[in-house]
Amino acid sequence: MGVLGAGSFGTCLAMLCAREHDVRLWARKPEIAEAINREHRNPSYLSDFELPESLRASSDLAEVLAGRELVICAVPSHGVRSVMQSAASYLEEGAIVVSTVKGIEQDTCMRMDQVLEEVLGSVHAPKLVFLSGPSFAREIADERPTAVTVACREEVYAISVQESISSPWLRCYSTQDVVGVELGGALKNVAAIAVGICDGLELGLNARASVMTRGLREITRLGTHLGADPLTFLGLAGVGDLVLTCTGDLSRNRRVGLELGRGRPLQEVLGAMNEVAEGVRTTRAACELGRRHGVELPISNMVDAILNGTVQPSEAVERIMRRQLRSENE
């Protein structure tokens, strides 16, 4: 098994799978790979967890991918295209590729499944699998019970991944709804920023619940318009991930919203973070996707305006509350 990306999620999955499989972990920086091999710890992410001695890291994609039948892509969404373009020539023809990336490509507004299909071509398209759901990397690494969804249009490959990476504390469910799983995983980060802003403004629990619920409605509205199964948004990759990311203290996107609500500038907030908050990039792409398809996303649009600095958080809340009254099902 090869794991691309030595951030928190890539590291935790490599650590998990190395107990049962021969795993190679790709790190972009050679010094990170060297430190993992020398100290059996990732110096940058989850550094308090000891990694299995059998887990080997490298900054050489060819070395990590050679002979690997299962490859996990766990790099930030803005790096997926370039990393997988570099990896494509080293992938085994029959390899299953699993993406754990939760985002939308900013320039193209493409989901990660669309990016991977475009980059890897028809040879690998049937075996592209997408993992999502309520899953903080630290809790998986700490062997806390976690359930996720793995999606593939050819469900037999999702089932294969399900069997390969499930453990006593990580339970995988399979589905064929790639579109729903991808959009649920990406757009819940936007909702989490919105909830964080409300919490930073100290608007109360009513506001938090309202934004989460209406945020889920936005996700479902866009998702079903693009062909997703609405039931997916009631599952792990939908409401499950939404609840976790909007309320969990380990949520990077919620943290961004909290600090914005407290009045801190965006660049200052991001500069203090060691990891990527995917929702910041995804917000703009989601709003553009909504405009292209004529799907209304009022919460996402307000988050975008706050991130761009054109609207202050308190003003955005007032605008949302003063919108025209309508049916809840709209």
Q: Answer whether 251's CB lies under 8 Å from 244's CB.
A: yes
* Residue 165 token pair: 């990476």
Q: Answer whether 112's CB lies under 8 Å from 182's CB.
A: yes
Q: Coil, strand or helix: which one is 232?
A: helix
User: Pick the catalytic residue: 29, 102, 127, 188?
Assistant: 188
Q: Answer whether 187's CB lies under 8 Å from 286's CB.
A: yes
Q: Is 188 a catalytic residue?
A: yes
Alpha helices for the chain (secondary structure H) = 8-17, 30-39, 61-65, 80-87, 112-120, 137-141, 155-165, 178-200, 205-225, 241-247, 252-261, 266-271, 278-293, 298-308, 313-321
The number of C-alpha atoms within 13 Å of 278 and in the hemisphere containing its C-beta is 25
With CA atoms as reference, report the closest residue to 289 among 73, 99, 114. 114
Residue numbers annotated as active site: 188
